[in-house]
Amino acid sequence: MKKVHAIFEDGDHKWLALARDTSRPEFLIDTNEYLVTSDGDAILLDPGGSEIFPAVFSAVSTGFDPRRINKIFASHQDPDVISSLSMWLEFNSGIKCLSWLWQSFVPHFAGQAETFVPIPDNGMEIAVGSRRLQAVPAHYLHSSGNFHLYDPKAKILFTGDVGAALLPAGDGGLYVEDFDRHIRHADAFHRRWMGSEKARNDWCARVSALDIDMLCPQHGAIYRGADVRRFIDWFSRIEVGILKP
Ligand SMILES: [Fe+2]
Ligand SMILES: [Fe+2]
């Protein structure tokens, strides 16, 4: 079962993290989904694969009416990000899916022309109730068309696969507690999946200008406080975009 954790709460403006499905099969990479709500409106970030839809849906439905979800944000096109789209659309055919040019690729999973809202290369503002979230360009990290999502009020940056860590079974904490120990589980993932040092440098400069309390990846634990800066510094130094034997 996935558990729901409120990681930010200010009235109806909330960030809920759906994390750590201990009952999933081992061969399936674990994912985090995030739900952002404000004033009766809700957006689900990287809702996950079709295989885990029942776990995500039942976790979301714990104390929350899933009919309020009218937008899905897909950081990129991967199956662990958005292959559950057909099931979400079966539940509510009016849901809009926001992503980059994958609006012509993602329909291979599901959807009609009006389902998809393309995000331009430079990003855009996404309204959720009275809040204004910002789609932040993260192209080539790792997908060639890739976005993160920043909430300036909550000071939370959702970073998709950036910051991801493949944690060993039993390491189920929601937050990073020991950065040096944690980052060992992120190292091989970033070296393999992040495609460009130039893109990495651009991203580090871009997000360093943001005021971030929490950096929330799609896999592994959430970075808080000083660990956000530690992660950006670590990421800025490692070698990416090359496969070494
Ligand atoms: Fe991915
Ligand atoms: Fe992923």
Distance (angstroms) between ligand 2 centre and the Cα of 6 equals: 22
Q: Is the pLDDT of residue 101 over 80?
A: no
**What's the gap in Å between 218 CA and the centre of ligand 2?**
6
Helix, strand, coil fractions of the chain, as percent rounded to 5 = 30, 25, 45
Q: What is the pTM of this model?
A: 0.96
Q: Is the dihedral of CA 134, 138, 139, 144 positive or negative?
A: negative
Distance 11 CA to ligand 2 centre (A): 30
The secondary structure element, H or E, covering residue 203 is helix 197-208
**Cα-to-centroid distance, 63 and ligand 1 (Å):** 29
Ligand 1 centre from 199 Cα, in Å?
A: 16
**How many Å apart are CA 51 and CA 28, to the nearest integer?**
9
Q: Name every residue whose Cβ is closer than 8 Å to that of residue 156 and which is 6 or more positions away in sequence.
A: 7, 8, 15, 150, 212, 213, 214, 215, 216
Strands, sheet with 125-128, edge to edge from the N-terminal-most edge strand: 125-128, 131-137, 147-151, 156-158, 214-216, 223-224
Distance from residue 39's CA to the centre of ligand 1 (Å):
31
What are 66-100's pLDDT values in tens digits? Answer: 999 999 999 999 999 999 999 999 999 999 999 98
Distance of CA 45 from the midpoint of ligand 2 (Å): 12
Q: Does 245 score more than 70 pLDDT?
A: no
Model confidence at 60: pLDDT above 70: yes
Q: Both tokens of residue 120?
A: 């331009």
Report how far ligand 1's centroid is from the alpha carbon of 161 (Å): 6
